[in-house]
Amino acid sequence: MNDTTGLGDDVQLITLDVNGTSHEVITAPRRTLVDVLRHDLGLTGTHVGCEHGICGACTVLVDGLPARACLMFAAQAEGARIATVESLADSGTGTGTGELSDLQRAFTAHHGLQCGFCTPGFLMLAQGFLAERPEATKEDIREVVAANLCRCTGYQTIVEAIDACATARRSQRAAGAEEDSCN
């Protein structure tokens, strides 16, 4: 799809589905997804750390699965559903109350962050992981958080936050199932 804009070889028009909203972006092919999210769409919640896939600060969801936004060109994300950290809180759509999600509240309650630089990446990693593996054990969580770097917490509080969120979701589902069976 080179030069579909007629604006020259180095520019392309792409359409990205980010947090349920469609965006048209004119950009250079070498622009990574994380740079387009931050610079073109102004979604600065996603952070940029190492830019080579090691630190995980830029983790977003691509079709529901966690992925490194620094290791994808934005053009490669066309046709996929992208979700960033801005989608978690109720205000993500611009019409909500601004209430943080259960996962975000668990990070607050368990002090799962200190400086906060890595937090958006950990949140999206956990969000995607728990969606696929709601039954994950603390050991599973411990293994999955090795994907991202945190230099403040020593990981213990991050693991506890994700585990607490997973446990609460499981008991909510169990309570819901019980209620359903009573009705």
Return residues touching other proteins (CB under 8 A). 1-2, 9-10, 12, 28-30, 32, 35, 51-53, 56, 59, 62, 65-68, 70-73, 75-76, 125, 128-129, 132, 143-144, 146-147
Which is nearer to other proteins, 80 or 100 (by Cβ)? 80
Taking CA 102 as the corner, what is the angle to CA 133 and CA 132, rounded to the nearest 5 degrees? Answer: 15
Q: How far is CA 181 from CA 56, 172, 175, in A?
A: 42, 14, 10
Taken as a whole, the chain contains a residue count of 183
Report which of 75, 83, 64 is spatially closest to residue 18, judged by C-alpha positions.
83
34 Cα distance to chain centroid: 11
Which is nearer to other proteins, 109 or 138 (by Cβ)? 138
Q: What is the DSSP string of 51-103?
A: SSSSS-TTEEEETTEEEEGGGSBGGGGTTSEEE-GGGTSGGGGSSS--PPPHH
Which is nearer to other proteins, 72 or 164 (by Cβ)? 72
Which is nearer to other proteins, 35 or 160 (by Cβ)? 35
CB 178, min distance to other proteins, A: 29
CB 161, min distance to other proteins, A: 18
Report the alpha-carbon distance of residue 163 to residue 136 in Å, rounded: 8
CB 80, min distance to other proteins, A: 10
Contact call for residues 38 and 85 (beta carbons, < 8 A): no
CB 52, min distance to other proteins, A: 4
CB 68, min distance to other proteins, A: 5
Which is nearer to other proteins, 105 or 142 (by Cβ)? 142
Helix (H) or strand (E) holding 127: helix 119-132
